[in-house]
Structure 1
């Protein structure tokens, strides 16, 4: 019986495309790398950003250039980018129903919690969650498996009573590492091929369909 829902933020609850990609271009430009206007960098939405910057810059993840690009990104994102964002259809209404039915909702995002908390409060989604969890600015818990381990420990959750909801393979694989079933949303930023390979328990086309998999016994 599912009692606890671990829910991703970017690409699952909200669409952060404009804020993240514009801030990423800004950060990369600060280190001398100009991303062509016609280049699609939507794939950076969801995974740890520093690793994505390192891939774009063709350097190691611990290279100072990737760190400087990340700092440039945060310079813009922390002021403007985090609000260049919108809530996906049916998300708030669905969260309200889940809360009313007694489910405990936990935000589980690789985004630094300092930003995630502001976004959740801005869109008034925090009211539906028992607790919000994210990464730290120093890089701790950007790995989704590590983040879920931290949530399980902090909340003393039984894995058989948990379900992870997200849009990328990182959500699915991170949850699987702990024996937690997953539901993937197909409207996010994980490609069909990515989700095919990750093999979540189920896939939904809109957030409201989550209710079909969460029943109160």
Structure 2
């Protein structure tokens, strides 16, 4: 699904089945040596997807370690994002000469737990959510904010709270994010898709052309 809402220049890979930990580099395996089985499976398969996406750009396999906030550390010359939820793992990679940042997220197409919508949304977002048959719009809003954070953090190395981005969801499968804090960008434009019991969202910001 994720490739349908990403530009053609972004390489992506998806897996519905988890890969064995033998697929990891030793330095990657060390990062999850004490993690719970679920976390180990998510981490491993996301790294396998990431290497498949890198290969599609002609980039050799290499360890993909984690930063202080568990963000993936990409090889020089690329930007990217990974996501995982039950039964779905994905990675999206683009060359940094083409894109400034990428953020993706996948979620089950089901309601958020009781009380969580008020925690992750602004009043205006709850009033103006798009209409979409069969799509749980509270979960879609959450996913869009996750993609926004994943696109924001590599640019700033700063946390972004749910209340610091205002999302406008559109029924045509797009969304806009207005950032309510100072930073190098004022917002993002993204796309979303709901199908096969999943919701996916993606942001891929092209690098401005040099005058």
Q: With the length of structure 2 as denominator, give the TM-score of the two structures.
A: 0.29
Structure with the higher fraction of residues in strand conformation: 2
Structure with the higher fraction of residues in helix conformation: 1
Which structure has the higher relative contact order (CA within 8 Å, separation 6+)? 1
